[in-house]
Structure 1
Amino acid sequence: MSYSTPPFKPTIPLEPFTISIPDEDIEELKTLIKLSRLPKETYENIDAEKKGFGVSRKWLEDTRKYWLEEYDWRKQESRINAQPAFKATVKNSDGLEYKIHFAALFSKRKDAIPIILSHGWPGAYIEFLGLMEVIRAKYSEDELPYHLIFPSTPGYLFSSSTPNDREFAIKDVGYLYDQVLKGLGLGDGYIAQGGDVGSHITNELGRSHEGCKAIHLNMRIVKPAPPGTPEHSQPWGIPEFLEWLQKYGYNLEQATRPSTIGLVLGSNPISLLCWIGEKFVEWSDETPSLDTILTFISLYWFTDTFPSCIFSYRYGFGSKRNVHTADKEYQHKPTGYSYFPKEITPIPVHWVKTAHNLVWSREHKTGGHFAALEGPEVLLDDVEDFVKQVWPEVSK
């Protein structure tokens, strides 16, 4: 397969990977969708989108019908498998083995720049699927200026699950990713990119790993600048807090009751559709197609990974919120930042400057939370412009 040959002989176990969901799993999913009851109509779920109450019962009914009658998993599976993918075996700092799944586009160029791109929640590495297709249309593998790695975060899809007997945090993810890059011979100098949870992973790579020379973010949560500085904004009042709470109620649930929400959504595909589908509908500037939304949800279901994918939320608002401090420290690595106005937390560029060595930024007029999914050409342009600016300096 094109773009599938690593530039160096790996020093870690590396095996090609393709998705092949058994027929019986697909049939079981369809049966569960059919048997799941649609709740009755209420004031809250009629025209819920207009009222700001989430997805409506009608949206659920129509999407369920499409899932059963028109959605073609095998078609989506073939599209995903058209991109090279692997599983690498690496060890954490305690010597425990993890398998990290990733898609990759490897270049034949000797001077290709390694870039690792980290997804968020409720996404997956397939957030970058359109980006991979755009890149392949733009560059042959002989011309591609980059080696691109798109990992599945531990706990998501095809990577190892988070451990059952110990804590696991963003710091652990960063360590494992750095080990993957080193094992591929790309760890001495690379750039990291990410949004949402991926922005925290990317920031951790920049903070803790010398091989990461610069980072690019399409989401960053930082506190307002201190009073008396030009970047300062007024503190929130009650209206602002209530607006925030409407957007982040899911966050508090996943942070404070991860067991309950994990068990609820891991046991019923219609519940999973409601919880995750809502985010794609509300957090995107333009709602993705039903095929796209259902592919994410189907993958979560087939891999039974929703309960393990929300581990990072306790470090923001849950029981471990004061343990992980990387995002509170100033980021000294050169940083690029792409601002999208429909992001759920549209942090302005001047706030990011207070927490980062910000050397490049771009403010867009459109775009939402799922930057790579919504506008792969736009994000690619941003990353390429950032890399062209910083790489000549940081690669010395």
Structure 2
Amino acid sequence: MSYSNPPFKPTISLEPFKISIPDKDLEDLKILIGLSRLPKETYENKNTEPNRFNKQNNNFGVSRKWLDETRTYWVDQYDWRKQESRINSQPAFTAQVKNKDGLEYKIHFAALFSNKKDAIPIILSHGWPGSFIEFLPIMEHVREQYNPDSLPYHLIFPSSPGYLFSDSPPTDREFSVKDIGYLYDQLMKGLGFGDAYIAQGGDVGSFITNELGMSYDGCKAIHLNMRKFSQPPPGTQESSKPFGIPEMLEHFQLYGYNLEHATRPSTIGLVVGSNPISLLCWIGEKLLEWSDENPSIDTILTFISLYWFTDTFPSSIYTYRYGFGSKRDVKSAENEYQHTPTGYTYHPKEITPVPVHWVKTAHNLVWSKEYESGGHFAALEKPERLWGDVEEFVKQVWPNDSSE
């Protein structure tokens, strides 16, 4: 397969990877979906619209009607093998990467390698409830744009530890974004890119990207399509406005799931991870509510199916404890000034849209762009636009840009 040849001899163990879900797992999933009870109708689940942008007072979550119709489609029409084939059309690998203690972790990643040794390495990090497949539309677009000989980048799309086909965090010690950053930097070094690379990310991936820029010399620049602030930065116009009851209620509505992940990760992990319909409700709601344009049902079910087949929902939510829960990481890169050159893309339908002038208070912001549309899953919703922003940013910050 083209795009699948690393430009340098890896110094880490590297194996090609294909998704191959056993037929029995597919059959068992259909049986479980069919046996799962559809709860009775209530005022709330009958009168709801899972999209916060309609500005009405009936956003109680996913509707019973949507769940019923989606469940039926999942059993009768959804074609997992078609989606599996699409994912497998992109080169993918597993690498054995050592942590600070010398213990090996398996990191799964998709990649598009250029035949140019001097192509620019970029690592792109996903968040929750996403996965590396958020970037599938970008991968497909890049392959239409460039062939392996003309591709000016080496693109790495890892599955974060605890997600899908990467190893889960250890069960005998704490594990945070700082640990992920170390493993990703080691991955880039093991692939021969450790001296100079660029990082990109949104959601939890923005935290990982920020950590790479803050802590590792090899990361020369970062691009974010989300930046979290707990409150308006001091000195901004918004910092002088009172945070009233309506704003607090909206904040808690948006972040209720976040507090559950952060304070009761064991309970929510066991509840949601034990049943495919629970998983569909919990993750499907976010994919609908946080998007400016609803993803297709096939896209939603592919996300859910991957979480189900890999049993990784419980191991995907650990980072929330460091933002809202029992292990607040006060030394997080999010709380320090980022000196690494930063690019930022603003989307107004982000969960909590952060204006450019806020980002300037915390970053060496050298490039930014603002749009009038676009939501949380930028790589999925607007792949060509987001990728265009990344390219434009790279041309500004990378010396002797080989993409010219």
TM-score range, shorter chain: over 0.9
Q: Is the 8 A contact 2:222 2:341 kept in 1?
A: yes
State the AA in 1 paired with 2:41. Answer: E
Match of 1:225 in 2: 233
Q: Is the 8 A contact 2:338 2:363 kept in 1?
A: yes
Listed one character per residue, the Cα deviations across residues 79-113 of structure 1 (whole Å, up to 9, x for unaligned) are 00000000000110011110000000000113200
What stretches of structure 2 of length at least 5 have no aligned partner? Answer: 50-55
Q: Shift in Å at residue 127 of structure 1? A: 0.1
What number of residue pairs does the alignment pair up?
Answer: 394
| Aligned counterparts of 1:11 and 1:217: Cα–Cα separation in 2 | 29
| Aligned counterparts of 2:100 and 2:179: Cα–Cα separation in 1 | 8
Are 1:70 and 2:77 counterparts? yes
Q: Shift in Å at residue 231 of structure 1? A: 6.6
Match of 2:53 in 1: none
Task: Could you list the structure 1 runs, at least 4 aligned residues long, displaced by more than 3 angstroms after superposition.
Answer: 229-233
| Aligned counterparts of 1:123 and 1:392: Cα–Cα separation in 2 | 32
Q: Shift in Å at residue 232 of structure 1? A: 3.8
Match of 2:133 in 1: 126
Are 1:157 and 2:164 counterparts? yes
Match of 1:84 in 2: 91
Q: Is the 8 A contact 1:315 1:324 kept in 2?
A: no
State the secondary structure of the residue aligned to 2:314. Answer: helix
Q: Is the 8 A contact 2:395 2:401 kept in 1?
A: no
Give the 3 Å change call, closer, same or farther, for CA 7–394 of structure 1 in structure 2. Answer: closer
| Residues 6-45 of structure 1 mapped to structure 2, 5 A cutoff | 6-45=6-45
Are 1:384 and 2:391 counterparts? yes
Listed one character per residue, the Cα deviations across residues 348-369 of structure 1 (whole Å, up to 9, x for unaligned) are 0000000000000000111000
What stretches of structure 1 of length at least 5 have no aligned partner? Answer: none
Equivalent of residue 208 in structure 2, options 183, 188, 201: 201
Listed one character per residue, the Cα deviations across residues 197-246 of structure 1 (whole Å, up to 9, x for unaligned) are 0000000000000000000000001231214x557452311111101111
Are 1:340 and 2:347 counterparts? yes
TM-score (ref. length: structure 1): 0.98
Match of 2:66 in 1: 59
Q: Shift in Å at residue 291 of structure 1? A: 0.2
Q: Is the 8 A contact 1:259 1:307 kept in 2?
A: yes
Listed one character per residue, the Cα deviations across residues 146-195 of structure 1 (whole Å, up to 9, x for unaligned) are 00000000000000011100000000000000001000001100000000
| Aligned counterparts of 1:182 and 1:4: Cα–Cα separation in 2 | 18
State the AA in 2 paired with 1:374. Answer: E
Are 1:2 and 2:2 counterparts? yes
Q: Is the 8 A contact 1:154 1:173 kept in 2?
A: yes
Give the 3 Å change call, closer, same or farther, for CA 394–347 of structure 1 in structure 2. Answer: farther
Q: Is the 8 A contact 1:33 1:270 kept in 2?
A: yes
Are 1:237 and 2:244 counterparts? yes
State the AA in 2 paired with 1:293. Answer: I
| Aligned counterparts of 2:97 and 2:241: Cα–Cα separation in 1 | 46
Are 1:329 and 2:324 counterparts? no
State the AA in 1 paired with 2:368. Answer: S
Q: Shift in Å at residue 47 of structure 1? A: 2.4
Report the identity percentage: 76
| Aligned counterparts of 2:98 and 2:117: Cα–Cα separation in 1 | 28
State the secondary structure of the residue aligned to 2:44. Answer: coil
Match of 1:216 in 2: 223
Instruction: Give RMSD over aligned pairs.
Output: 1.3
Equivalent of residue 113 in structure 1, options 114, 120, 141: 120
Q: Shift in Å at residue 323 of structure 1? A: 4.4
State the AA in 1 paired with 2:284. Answer: G
Q: Is the 8 A contact 1:131 1:380 kept in 2?
A: yes
Match of 1:316 in 2: 323
Equivalent of residue 264 in structure 1, options 271, 274, 277: 271
State the secondary structure of the residue aligned to 1:335. Answer: strand
| Aligned counterparts of 1:210 and 1:148: Cα–Cα separation in 2 | 19
Match of 1:177 in 2: 184
| Aligned counterparts of 1:325 and 1:95: Cα–Cα separation in 2 | 23
| Aligned counterparts of 2:299 and 2:332: Cα–Cα separation in 1 | 34
State the secondary structure of the residue aligned to 1:94. Answer: coil
Listed one character per residue, the Cα deviations across residues 1-45 of structure 1 (whole Å, up to 9, x for unaligned) are 010000000000000000000000010000000000000000110
Equivalent of residue 101 in structure 1, options 108, 116, 129: 108
State the secondary structure of the residue aligned to 2:45. Answer: coil
Q: Is the 8 A contact 2:8 2:117 kept in 1?
A: no
State the secondary structure of the residue aligned to 1:307. Answer: coil
| Aligned counterparts of 2:365 and 2:334: Cα–Cα separation in 1 | 15
| Aligned counterparts of 1:324 and 1:59: Cα–Cα separation in 2 | 42
Q: Is the 8 A contact 2:214 2:338 kept in 1?
A: yes
Give the 3 Å change call, closer, same or farther, for CA 322–10 of structure 1 in structure 2. Answer: closer
Give the 3 Å change call, closer, same or farther, for CA 325–393 of structure 1 in structure 2. Answer: farther
